[in-house]
Amino acid sequence: MKKKCCELVLVLSVVILPLLLLSCSSSGSGGGDDPGPGAPSLSNLSFPSETYRGETCLVSCDYSDPEGDIIMLYSTDTHPGGIGTKSYTADELGITGTSGRITVLDDTNLSASYGTHHIEIWVEDAGHHTSNRLTHDLEVLRK
């Protein structure tokens, strides 16, 4: 009986305890679907659903950031011709304070591939917390 009890304690301490500890850990990165406390957030994305190659798009969204220290906006454009990335500083976009509206004149379509473009945008603050990511599909058409 004593041996079985010791075996049970060993199994609990070697197998189950590490699993419990892993399930309680957190990333602390401020990114992903749950940005965490202090992270900025984005909402109300306004973006056309289609455009013609060679035209620019007006893109905007609302932001909030408890600390008011957003430093960058990032975007990726995944399309039939590959992936493009861009970044803008908060100064370039006039981002100040704890909330407001971000507006970008996106010139991605000046040389864009025809077809569906999957656009994703997010911001980062001075503490390296990233916001949620807003996504949108944009169809680039031939004139």
Q: How far apart are CA 29 and CA 86, in angstroms?
A: 22
0.85 exceeded by pTM: no
Check pLDDT > 80 for residue 52: yes
> What value, to the nearest 5°, has the Cα angle with vertex 42 and ends 36 and 58?
160
Q: How far is CA 139 from CA 38, 108, 111, in A?
A: 35, 12, 14
Q: How far apart are alpha carbons 71 and 126 in whole angstroms?
A: 6
Q: Give the single-character DSSP code of 112.
A: P
What domains lie within the chain, and their CATH numbers?
41-141 (2.60.40.10)
- The model's pLDDT over 89-132, given as tens digits with 9 standing for 90+, comes to 999 999 999 999 999 987 656 566 889 999 999 999 999 999 99
pLDDT reported for residue 86 = 92
For residues 87 and 31, which has the higher predicted lDDT (pLDDT)? 87
Return phi, psi of residue 134, to 5°.
-100, 135
Identify residue 81 by its one-letter amino acid code.
G
